[in-house]
Each structure stands twice: as C-alpha cells, then as structure tokens.
Amino acid sequence: MRISFTDRELDVMAELWDGGPSTVAEVRARLDDDLAYNTVLTVLRTLEDKGYVGHEEEGRAYRYFPLVARDEAGSSALRRMVGKLFAGSPELLLTRLVSDRGLERHELERLRGLLDERLRDHPSPVASEPERHPKHPAGPAHPPHPPRHGRRGRDDSGVGDGSAGGAS
C-alpha cells in the first residue's frame, strides 16, 4: 500500500506513534505548532478517512490510534522520494547521503557495516561483472555524483524540460 502524508498529517501521525493512542486535545498539546482544536480534529478525521488512523470511544471523546506502522510509512515515503528525487536510483540516494559533510565517522562506519552485511546476505550472481546502474544499463556501474541542477532547478540533461533532445 502506498502511504502518503501531508506535512501536517505527518506531524499528527508522529504524535500518535510517539505518544500512543490519544485524544484530539492530547495530540494538540504535544504538537509544536499552536493549532486550533478543530484543525487537529480535521486532520485526524482526514487520516481516518484515508485508513491511516482509527478511533475508539472514551467517554465523550475519541481516542485515536495509528493503523499504519511508522516503519511501513517510512518505507513508502522512502520509495517515493527515491523515485522522485533520485531518478529511481537507491545508489544516487546513498551517494548523496554519504557525501553529506554532517555525518559523523561512526555513522559512516555504521552505514559501511550495513552495506557489508547486505552484500554478505545477497552476493552478486556474477562476481567478476560489475552491476550496472538500473536506469542506465550501459552506463557506469557507479555514477560519480547525484544529478546536477541547472539555473532553473532542472536536471542539466534536458530530460523533462520540454526540449526536443530530452525525450525518451
């Protein structure tokens, strides 16, 4: 199931994941933004309509609870982000992540360990042949950099900018 949240919905879901089943007033009190009670109620009802939240009656109030796990939502969001921001290439996402100067050495070592573990669990079928980039099978096995953006924020390749040479 593809799970998609607006920023406000994600704020409310985070409060339900972190705080457990909650009333509208409890969610509202934990949010960083000072929202009206009816705004939080509307967000919770929208999430319920989408099937992401359920509720049970508790006296005169409803207690809302998440119907989707944080991990499931995170996986869906990551797949969407990889598809839209990194041309469907997890490799480009990882390249961007490890190029971030904000990562500490121990974080980079943990990432290396996760990659090593993954490679041990799923060895390449042909060890001598490097894997090709999924979007560019004839291209290099490891693209050196994530896509660059020109003056107008588009990929410099011309793909998707309406130019005649960029259509596939």
* Residue limits of CATH 1.10.10.10 in the chain: 7-68
What's the rounded Cα separation, in Å, for the pair 31 and 42? 15
This prediction's pTM: 0.61
pLDDT at residue 126, rounded to an integer:
54
Mean pLDDT of the 36-51 span: 96
Mean pLDDT of the 33-48 span: 96
Let me know: does 98 contact 104? Beta carbons within 8 Å.
no
Can you name the CATH fold of 7-68? Arc Repressor Mutant, subunit A (1.10.10)
What's the rounded Cα separation, in Å, for the pair 107 and 103? 6
* pLDDT tens-digit series, residues 125-159: 654 444 544 544 444 444 444 444 444 444 444 44
* pLDDT tens-digit series, residues 96-131: 888 877 888 899 899 899 999 989 988 776 544 445
